[in-house]
């Protein structure tokens, strides 16, 4: 039997010597140009990190491409960021410009550092997930094609802006806490195949999976009944019971959310809030969605003060002005009708000792 329970490779063997030598001893960093970080250690050592865009879904040939570059300029060392960009770690300053030139020549996009619109954290979509209401990769590509100048720093933004895409309300990734999120949603009631449910479903689990208590047992046929008045089409019952289907290509689509953040800087972390309740799926380019995202970015960057993130800007001007400036209709869908009891818990590291 194969070796088990040994964990990932030790990072100590994968970090470049300059990091090993200056580990925990960095003094400050600067951003000499968009996409490049210059780290200075108390020892005087200087490390450059060059950040480039990745589609996240990549081929083994792409992996070998970036390995070639890392070997040529970085003694074979590289890393990925928590937003799925690649970073080349340059210890020899004389190799910095040649690396940037080669990356430009090969059409890698250099950027995504600090005040910018960085990579979109996204999910599997139709490429690999059974609950996907939309395609994450296609949405990401379509949106980022519009945002490239903000990624590379060609056009400035007031503050960092984080976009996330999730293909269903499971919101794998950080959609509930991003400046702009695109989340796949259903709008029609799931259908129950009673015969199949009686064979493959655990009825109590299926009932417990419903956030609104819309599901009750149907003992006559050993299945369940969904109360359409209570169902808000989250799809969680379909995750536990394969006999319940919710996919509806005509009515499925995406919603857009704004104003979330995770950092504690200035303001506590914030949830993203509903901006646009529904836009239909329009593959391959999702033009209505990309236009809506572009509008949100535009209205934010022309109105926000320097250093003001989307949620902070909205808190200053108020939601009433946000909806007006963004030219988005406010509807009954924006009124929360879900119960919350944890609003008193302190969801930030901001406090006094």
Partner 1 sequence: MDEKKTPLLDELEKGDWPSFVTEIKRAAAKNASAADLLAQLETSYENKEGYWKHGGIVGVKGYGGGVVGRYSSQPEKFPHVREFHTFRVNQPAGFFYTAEKLRQVAAIWDQYGSGLFNLHGSTGDCILLGTTTENLQPCYDALTECGFDLGGSGSAMRTLSCCVGQARCEKACIDSMNIIRELTLHYQDAIHRPAWPYKFKIKVSACPNDCAAASARSDLAVIGTWRDVLEMDQDAVREAVDGGFDIFNRVIRKCPTEALEWDSGKRELKITAEDCVHCMHCINMMPKALHIGRERGATLLIGGKAPVVKGAMIGWVLVPFIKMEPPYTEFKDLVDKITDWWADHGKNRERVGELIERMGLSAFLEAVGLEPLPQMVHAPRSNPYIFWKAEEVGSHG
- Within 4-23, which residues bind partner 1 (CB under 8 A)? 4-11, 13-15, 19, 23
353 forms part of the interface with partner 1 (CB under 8 A) = yes
Of 67, 155, 221, 225, the residue at the interface with partner 1 (CB under 8 A) is 67
**Torsional sign, CA 245, 249, 251, 253:** positive
Of 44, 61, 219, 320, the residue at the interface with partner 1 (CB under 8 A) is 61
- The CB-of-130 to partner 1 minimum distance in angstroms stands at 4
Task: Return the bridge partners of 223, or none.
Answer: 218
**Which of residues 136 and 326 has its CB atom nearest to partner 1 in the complex?**
136
Distance in angstroms (rounded) separating the CA atoms of residues 298 and 120? 17
10: DSSP letter: P
Residue with tokens 């590379």: 152
- The CB-of-324 to partner 1 minimum distance in angstroms stands at 26
262 forms part of the interface with partner 1 (CB under 8 A) = yes
**Which of residues 329 and 344 has its CB atom nearest to partner 1 in the complex?**
344
Q: Is 18 exposed, middle or buried (0-12, 13-18, 19+ CB in 10 A)?
A: buried
- The CB-of-111 to partner 1 minimum distance in angstroms stands at 11
Omega prior to 284 cis, within 30 of 0: yes
Could you say which residues in the range 310-349 bind partner 1, by CB under 8 A?
A: 338-349
**Which of residues 327 and 353 has its CB atom nearest to partner 1 in the complex?**
353
Could you say which residues in the range 107-166 bind partner 1, by CB under 8 A?
A: 108-109, 121, 123-130, 132, 135, 137-138, 140-142, 144-145, 147-148, 151
Within a 10 A sphere around the Cβ of 151, how many other Cβ atoms?
Answer: 25
Please check whether residue 238 is in contact with residue 190, taking contact to mean a CB–CB distance below 8 angstroms: yes
- The CB-of-218 to partner 1 minimum distance in angstroms stands at 20
Could you say which residues in the range 290-309 bind partner 1, by CB under 8 A?
A: 306-307
**Which of residues 39 and 301 has its CB atom nearest to partner 1 in the complex?**
39
76 forms part of the interface with partner 1 (CB under 8 A) = yes
Of 36, 70, 90, 157, the residue at the interface with partner 1 (CB under 8 A) is 70
Residue with tokens 């200075």: 40
Q: Alpha helices of 230-318 — where are they, by DSSP H?
A: 236-240, 287-303, 310-317
Backbone angles phi, psi at 155, to 5 degrees: -115, 135
62 forms part of the interface with partner 1 (CB under 8 A) = yes
CA 186 from centroid of its chain's CA atoms: 20
Of 34, 35, 36, 49, the residue at the interface with partner 1 (CB under 8 A) is 49
Distance in angstroms (rounded) separating the CA atoms of residues 111 and 102? 15
Within a 10 A sphere around the Cβ of 180, how many other Cβ atoms?
Answer: 26
Distance in angstroms (rounded) separating the CA atoms of residues 179 and 113? 16
Could you say which residues in the range 86-105 bind partner 1, by CB under 8 A?
A: 86
172 forms part of the interface with partner 1 (CB under 8 A) = yes
**Which of residues 266 and 324 has its CB atom nearest to partner 1 in the complex?**
266
């Amino acid at each position: 039997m194969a070796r088990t329970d040994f964990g990932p490779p030790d990072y100590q063997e994968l970090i470049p010597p300059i990091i090993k030598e200056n580990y925990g001893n960095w003094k400050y960093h600067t951003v000499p140009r968009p996409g490049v970080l210059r780290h200075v250690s108390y020892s005087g050592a200087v490390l450059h990190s060059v950040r480039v865009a990745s589609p996240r879904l990549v081929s083994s040939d792409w992996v070998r491409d970036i390995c070639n570059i890392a070997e040529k300029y970085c003694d074979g060392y590289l890393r990925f960021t928590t937003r799925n960009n690649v970073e080349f770690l340059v210890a020899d300053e004389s190799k910095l410009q040649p690396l940037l030139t080669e990356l430009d020549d090969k059409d890698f996009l250099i950027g995504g550092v600090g005040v910018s619109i960085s990579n979109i954290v996204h999910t599997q979509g139709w490429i690999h997930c059974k609950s996907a209401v939309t395609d994450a990769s296609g949405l990401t590509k379509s949106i980022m094609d519009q945002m490239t100048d903000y990624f590379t720093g060609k056009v400035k933004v007031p503050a960092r802006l984080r976009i996330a895409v999730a293909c269903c309300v499971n919101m794998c990734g950080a959609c509930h806490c991003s400046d702009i999120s695109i989340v796949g949603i259903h709008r029609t009631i799931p259908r129950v195949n009673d015969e199949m449910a009686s064979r493959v479903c655990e009825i109590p689990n299926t009932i417990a999976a419903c956030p609104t208590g819309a599901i009750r047992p149907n003992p006559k046929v050993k299945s369940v009944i969904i109360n359409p008045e209570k169902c808000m089409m989250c799809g969680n019952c379909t995750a536990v019971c394969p006999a319940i289907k919710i996919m509806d290509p005509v009515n499925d689509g995406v919603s857009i959310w704004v104003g979330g953040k995770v950092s504690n800087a200035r303001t506590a972390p914030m949830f993203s809030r509903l901006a646009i309740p529904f836009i239909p799926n329009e593959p391959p380019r999702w033009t209505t969605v990309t236009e809506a995202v572009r509008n949100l970015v535009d209205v934010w960057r022309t109105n926000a003060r320097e250093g003001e993130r989307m949620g902070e800007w909205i808190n200053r001007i108020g939601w009433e002005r946000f909806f007006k400036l963004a030219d988005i209709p406010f509807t009954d869908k924006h009124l929360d009708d879900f119960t919350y009891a944890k609003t008193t818990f302190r969801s930030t590291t901001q406090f006094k000792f």
